Structure 1
């Protein structure tokens, strides 16, 4: 997987916008991924987390 699409962001501070596409840098295993925010930073998160939800697009 190289890219994901944000489909939910319930956070007030995380910079991910719904319907935007983001790059995935590394798969840590166990459903945890490094997702880049497009501003030079990244988070480690599952695709379906408490505040964010992503779907794989490729």
Structure 2
């Protein structure tokens, strides 16, 4: 790789920041997401928008 190629590669680097992570799992029991959202602070549950509890 030439010096020019190395310089261009270095200039093309971008910072990447992870903002959200979604995890899915199957459990043997139902989880009362509506009750959890009502009880816990800083949580959201809107199954029409996203079928999970947002913490």
**TM-score of the superposed pair, with normalisation by structure 1:** 0.22
Structure 1 or 2, whichever has the larger Rg, is 2
Greater RCO structure (CA 8 Å; 6+ sep): 1
Identify the structure with the greater helix proportion: 2
